[in-house]
A = this chain, B = another copy of it.
């Protein structure tokens, strides 16, 4: 405990005792992590207003204490709530959760960083039913702003979360408040025109530590006239996978697919629909090809699976479906099953028919149950269904309600290198990853996330037993090797875990210096989140 008691007293007085936590056990519980290595701060503060945020920063400046800011800290397996150093203050903005404005005609909301996907979604259903919010595939309780500033991704046409931010209100290290956009202070286009006047500064506050974003405009998608959903199973041989990726890009590039699907390999899909088959592993760290085949068969899972939303007018959707089907039928099975989530009698009948048909085709009930949240996710309905996969290995079963993998001691870690959207690059990324998984004794988990018509994010992950020091070390070593392998190959990760953030620019020294200079110009005492994304730790 190294915080000045004066600071603790000031914070307790300013925020109230419930919102300034100093007891080590309580602090540990509040900042627990799924990552293999993480540090504990000296205290956690949860301001409720802009003025309280300024009070925290004023106290931090006065006592020269670093402040690690998080929104809700739910980006499990990436940064979470952990700073790359021990001690200091963690400032969590979850109590700043006001939805300040929703403009249904112009399709945006102005919100605070504590607002979650579920909250925004529920609000829209009541107050602006013609708008959809995108949602991360992880948890419905993640912060909309936090995810966007960490460059997280969704699945609808508005999947680019940082791209959908427009107009930030930021508290600087010196306590001053600034609005980006460059207009006059009464700028009526603050949340409408992205690039603003003069240099575009919003980008400075993504994956960085140059200010505390306390308010942001978020663009929302118009509900389309018609929505449908395709479930796809890849059944062609592995040799045709690169050609499949090329055709996939073509559909995205031509705007025939407007959503941003995630292609899951067999292991990734099985994490979602079942528990780890420790019996099949037979005491080995990883499953043999035969064991994988048996497990796959049991649940009716293909080598690759993905879901995909289709959006537009009635006529456009019909045409897109025809085009999508024609392309993908060459590589597997396409099923348009958006009606599965329909209300009423016909919906029930449809579900019964799908269920019966799929069971007949050897699909497990668990696989069929995963359809509902998938169809919803592609129309922006947040869910915890997929995040539950992190309980699949070291727990007997997945939770049925609220999840909190950090609290529950789930150990896992993600790395998502960006690769060009080509068949060769997708194949090369997998070839790079497989030996690293094998070296460290983990099964190969891959999701290929469509970032844009030009780039894929190859998401890899491992699950380890957080209670075991050996397993944590193995997870950390896997991450380090993956990171090196992909950086060597020129594929930078789209976001990195807290531990690697201080070294984020070690391979681009001039850029690192540019970021350092800007940091110094705006936060000369290095109060705000020192070490986040390439800026100097203390």
Residues of A within 8 A of B (CB): 105-108, 151, 162-163, 166, 172, 176-189, 191-208, 210, 219, 222, 224-225, 246, 249, 253-256, 258, 312-313, 315-316, 318-320, 322-323, 418-422, 425, 451-455, 487-496, 504-505, 507-508, 510-511, 513-515, 517-518, 520-522, 533-534
Contacts and interface: CB of A to CB of B under 8 A. Distances in A.
Contacts of A521: 517-518, 520-521
A515 B198 contact: yes
A493 B254 contact: no
A533 B199 contact: yes
Contact of A222 (B178, B188, B254): B254
A426 B92 CA distance: 41
A238 B422 CA distance: 51
A487 B184 contact: yes
How many protomers of this protein does the assembly include? 2
Interface centre among A105, A176, A487 (most CB of B within 10 A): A105
A316 B316 CA distance: 5
Contacts of A496: 197
**Interface on chain A toward B: helix, strand, loop, or mixed SS?**
loop
A508 B188 contact: no
A27 B514 CA distance: 34
Contacts of A189: 418-420, 455, 490-492
A471 to B, nearest CB: 28
Nearest to A258: B255
User: Which 7 pairs of residues, A with B, have the shortest CB-CB distance?
Assistant: A200-B203, A183-B492, A315-B319, A184-B507, A521-B521, A188-B490, A199-B208
Given A316-B319, A514-B522, A507 B185 contact: yes
A106 B199 contact: no
Contact of A522 (B182, B187, B517): B517
A494 B197 contact: yes
A255 to B, nearest CB: 7
Contacts of A425: 188
A82 to B, nearest CB: 18
A533 B199 CA distance: 8
A181 B518 CA distance: 16
B195 A162 contact: yes
B422 A176 contact: no
Contacts of A418: 183, 189, 192-193
Interface centre among A185, A193, A320, A517 (most CB of B within 10 A): A193
Contacts of A491: 188-189
A451 B202 CA distance: 19
Contacts of A518: 199, 518, 521-522
Given A255-B312, A491-B188, A193 B511 contact: no
Given A319-B319, A418-B192, A504-B182, A492 B187 contact: yes
Contacts of A107: 253, 453-454
Contacts of A219: 454
A151 B199 CA distance: 10
B192 A455 contact: yes
Interface centre among A108, A166, A518 (most CB of B within 10 A): A518
B193 A505 contact: no
A458 to B, nearest CB: 11
Given A188-B425, A199-B206, 10 more contacts: A177-B510, A184-B487, A185-B507, A193-B452, A193-B454, A197-B533, A198-B533, A199-B210, A202-B203, A313-B319
17 contacts: A105-B422, A163-B195, A182-B505, A187-B490, A188-B425, A189-B418, A191-B454, A192-B452, A192-B454, A193-B451, A197-B207, A197-B492, A197-B505, A197-B533, A198-B504, A198-B505, A200-B202
Given A198-B505, A202-B203, A451-B193, A178 B492 contact: no
A202 B320 CA distance: 34
Contacts of A185: 507-508
